[in-house]
Amino acid sequence: MTCECEKRVFNFSAGPAVLPVSALQEAQRDLVCYPGAGASIMELSHRGKVVDGIVKEAEARLRRLLNLGDDYHVLFLQGGATTQFSMIPMNFLGENGADYLEEGTWSKKAMTEARRVGKVVVPWSGKEGNYNRLPADSDYKVRPEASYFHVTSNETIHGVEFHREPEAYGVPMVCDASSDFLSRPMDAHKYALIYAGAQKNIGPAGVTVVILSDALYQKRIEDEKRPIMLDYKTHVENKSLYNTCPVFSIYMVGLVLKWLEEEIGGLEKIYQLNKKKAELLYSAIDNSNGFCAPHVSNHVDRSLMNVTWRLPSEELEKKFVQEAEALGMIGLKGHRSVGGLRASIYNAFPYEGVERLVEFMADFQRRHA
């Protein structure tokens, strides 16, 4: 039975997050029997022609969206961004260490794992302001001898986002783009490595996209003791198919990329839609006469993906979440480490859902201000 879209809730969760309905419906149609295969996509061998074609098509769509040439490897791996926190330094962190911007919770986690491998230098930290802003390029310098320079393009918990490609000062730049990947045009060629867990913007949990420049790959540090699954060489040489890949997750990523490319019309179009959603929500927060307090006051650093704010008391915040859920809006509770409220409005989140939230926010303020 097909799920009626009007009965779906508005899912503001930070991830796993909302997926395009058209992608879900196509998966639903093909779930029991993939066309021409005689079996479900979840039952097919990753060594077979059908899965090989699905992986190649997803890669081709990704390359078109980001205008990637043959000088980049596209990998579909497992273990989430957290595994990449370890895998990157294990492969590329040399004696001189690496530079990491400390922008919030996830960049701190990446730094912690890198320090298990070697030296980490922090050219800028947002800790003093509780991670409520990002640095301008002039606020930091990257050491020329650094193995690489690590940035997090969007911090889901605190709600800050780079709306530009940060200056790397000639050092290979590595980016955790998990929560805003493909939400805007991106000059991928300014990065040596981009990684992103799929479950925010481009698919279900279970697969992590890695875009690795061949230039950085050639600088990979040889280590015979490195576990084989944590060596990029394993996955580059086997084109993501060394072991059983997350077949269904890659299949779903392919459907989401199809939606983004064919239905939406590419990254510039989705960027305009994302800005429109975020502007509506931030306007409601800023015009609430202080009832809603944004975590990020500097407009240029505000995330288009994760909008964070506080109400006058934790009791009101709890009531807000409860009443919203009763009205079909879920996932609005802020991260447990910071509290408050958070609305994650990723690519597939509908504008109508933001309109519904804004209407509720105004009504809630009238009743509780």
Q: Which are the catalytic amino acids?
A: 106, 176, 200
Q: Which of 204, 249, 231 is nearest to 55 (CA)?
A: 249
Q: How far apart (Å, rounded) are the C-alpha atoms in residues 212 and 203?
A: 20
Contact by Cβ (8 Å): 306, 154: yes
Looking at residue 141, what DSSP letter applies?
Answer: -
Q: How far apart (Å, rounded) are the C-alpha atoms in residues 288 and 157?
A: 22
Contact by Cβ (8 Å): 161, 155: yes
String of DSSP letters for 218-248: TTPPP-TTS-GGG-HHHHHHTTT-SS---HH
If DSSP states are collapsed to H, E and C, what string results for 173-213?
EEEECCCCCCCCCCCHHHCCEEEEECCCCCCCCCCEEEEEE
Q: How far apart (Å, rounded) are the C-alpha atoms in residues 279 and 287?
A: 12
> Helices H, strands E: what count in the chain?
10, 14
Contacts (Cβ under 8 Å, ≥6 apart) of 61: 254, 257, 258, 261
Token pair recorded at residue 148: 């690489």
125: helix, strand or coil: strand
